Amino acid sequence: MRYIFSILFLCLLLTGCNAKQVRHLASDAALIKPGVSTKNDVRRFLGEPNGHRTVSPGVIEYVYYEEVPGLLGHTPVIGSWVDAEGYEMIVILMNNDVVTSCEFRTFSEKDREWLEDFTWEDVK
């Protein structure tokens, strides 16, 4: 009986181990200062962007994206099966390698719940 409790206790301790690095986009966005930060600063603080595009000559947009896990999202094994609760995003606009704007955005699945409750009527 003691061995069963020991094994269960050991399993509980191991479930707390998480090797995935966690990004905190809200606090990371505060490190970027428009008009001051450069492309090298952005890469140093935030790493490689999840996406980027050229808006116009000399103007580049970087996008950093992170899903916000739901209630069981951090649980080992089953956490990957649970849908995300929403996501966070940082959109950085740079002109000639100097940051001109940095926006933090957050989106939740609950933002769209009104679609289910709304009475849809045809407009005549």
Three-class SS of 63-92: EEEEEEECCCCCCCCHHHHCCEEEEEEEEE
Answer whether 0.85 is exceeded by the pTM.
no
| pLDDT number for residue 27 | 86
In CATH terms, the fold of domain 20-109 is: Beta-lactamase Inhibitory Protein; Chain:B, domain 1 (3.30.1450)
- Digit-by-digit pLDDT tens for the chain (124 residues) are 777 777 766 666 655 555 555 667 888 889 999 999 999 999 999 999 999 999 999 999 999 988 877 666 556 666 566 677 888 899 999 999 999 999 999 888 777 777 777 776 766 6
| pLDDT number for residue 20 | 56
| pLDDT number for residue 103 | 94
Q: Where are the domains of the chain?
A: 20-109
Question: For strand 51-56 and strand 59-69, is the pairing parallel, antiparallel, or unpaired?
Answer: antiparallel
Q: Taken in order 103, 109, 110, 113, is the CA torsion positive or negative?
A: positive
Q: Taken in order 77, 80, 86, 90, is the CA torsion positive or negative?
A: positive
| pLDDT number for residue 91 | 95
